[in-house]
Amino acid sequence: MKWKKIEVILEFLIFGIIIGVIEDLIAVTVTTGEPITWKIIGIIVLVAIPFAFIGEVIADQIDFSRLLEKIFSKKSKITDVSEKQ
């Protein structure tokens, strides 16, 4: 079970790095007009790795549906209390 979870995390991490590199290459090409060289690709890969890691380890581990449910349930409790007064 643990190896399967590690495998899934690594797959998403690698996919995140690849997608990050592709979108950064597009952004550099569109905004600067510079030709893509191996040096630029290296810099982009170095920039994409931490963001893919952060996206996988932090953002993907947060249960946003539960978080939003808590936020909206608190708001509804506040409005219910204010309506009763």
pLDDT score of 78: 56
- Give residue-wise pLDDT tens across range 1-33: 688 877 877 888 888 889 999 999 999 999 998
pTM here? 0.61
Q: Which residue has 């549906």 as its token pair?
A: 65
Does residue 81 surpass a pLDDT of 60? no
CA angle 32, 36, 38 (to 5 degrees): 135
Provide the 3-class DSSP secondary structure of residue 72: helix
- Give residue-wise pLDDT tens across range 19-71: 999 999 999 999 998 889 999 999 999 999 988 888 777 766 677 778 778 88
